Amino acid sequence: MTQRAELLIFRNIRSFDPAQGLDETGDVVVEAGRITRMGPDAAGDLADAPGARVVDGTGRWLLPAFVDLHAHLREPGQEYKEDIASGLAAAAAGGYAHVCVMPNTKPVNDTRAVTEMMLRRAAECGGARLHPIGAITLGQAGQELTEMAELREAGAVAVSDDGVCVMSSAVMRRALEYARNFDMPVIQHAEDHELTAGAAMNEGAVSTRLGLRGWPRVAEDIIIARDVLLAEYVGARYHVAHISTRGAVRIIREAKARGLPVTCEVTPHHLLLTDAAVIGYDTACKVNPPLREEEDAAVLREALADGTIDAVATDHAPHSPLEKDCEFREASPGLMGLELCFGLLLETFGQGKAPARLVEALSTRPARIAGIEPPALREGATAELVLIDPEARWVPGATPLQSKSRNTPFLQRELQGRVLMTLADGRVVFEAPEVSR
Ligand code: DOR
Predicted confidence pLDDT, tens digits, the chain (437 residues): 577 889 999 999 999 999 999 999 999 999 999 999 999 999 999 999 999 999 999 999 999 999 999 999 999 999 999 999 999 999 999 999 999 999 999 999 999 999 999 999 999 998 999 999 999 999 999 999 999 999 999 999 999 999 999 999 999 999 999 999 999 999 999 999 999 999 999 999 999 999 999 999 999 999 999 999 999 999 999 999 999 999 999 999 999 999 999 999 999 999 999 999 999 999 999 999 999 999 999 999 999 999 999 999 999 999 999 999 999 999 999 999 999 999 999 977 765 566 889 999 999 999 999 999 999 999 999 999 999 999 999 999 999 999 999 999 999 999 999 999 999 999 999 999 999 87
Query: Are 270 and 285 within 8 A, CB to CB?
Result: no
- Tell me, what's the pLDDT at 2? 76
Ligand 1 center to residue 333 CA distance, Å? 6
User: CA-CA distance, 189 to 165, in Å (whole number)?
Assistant: 5
Ligand 1 pocket, mutate which of 101, 332, 405, 407 (most atoms under 8 A from CB): 332
Ligand 1 center to residue 204 CA distance, Å? 21
Ligand 1 center to residue 125 CA distance, Å? 24
Ligand 1 pocket, mutate which of 80, 160, 162 (most atoms under 8 A from CB): 162
Ligand 1 center to residue 346 CA distance, Å? 24
User: CA-CA distance, 334 to 294, in Å (whole number)?
Assistant: 20
Residue 381 is inside which H or E element, if any?
Answer: none
- Beta-ladder partners of 431: 421
Q: What is Dmax (Cα atoms) for the chain? A: 69
Active-site choice (282, 315, 389, 425) = 315
Query: Are 340 and 268 within 8 A, CB to CB?
Result: yes
Ligand 1 pocket, mutate which of 196, 288, 316 (most atoms under 8 A from CB): 288
User: CA-CA distance, 54 to 306, in Å (whole number)?
Assistant: 38
- Tell me, what's the pLDDT at 43? 96
Query: What is the phi-psi region of residue 108: left when phi exceeds 0, alpha when psi lies from -120 to 50, beta otherwise?
Result: beta
Helices (H) and strands (E) in the chain, counts: 14, 18
Q: pTM here? A: 0.98
Confirm whether 56 is a catalytic residue.
no
Query: Are 248 and 221 within 8 A, CB to CB?
Result: yes
- Tell me, what's the pLDDT at 352? 57
Q: Which atom of ligand 1 is nearest to the CA of 162?
A: 6
Angle at 96 between CA 95 and CA 98, to 5 degrees: 165
Q: Which atom of ligand 1 is nearest to the CA of 334?
A: 1
Say whether the peptide bond before residue 289 is cis (omega within 30 degrees of 0): yes
User: CA-CA distance, 104 to 65, in Å (whole number)?
Assistant: 26
Return the CA Rg of the chain. 21
User: CA-CA distance, 214 to 197, in Å (whole number)?
Assistant: 9
- Residue of 172, 174, 161 lying closest to 135 (CA atoms): 161
Ligand 1 atom 7: residue of nearest CA: 163
Q: Residues with Cβ within 6 A of ligand 1?
A: 72, 104, 162-163, 189, 287-288, 317, 332-334
User: CA-CA distance, 158 to 175, in Å (whole number)?
Assistant: 11
Ligand 1 center to residue 176 CA distance, Å? 22
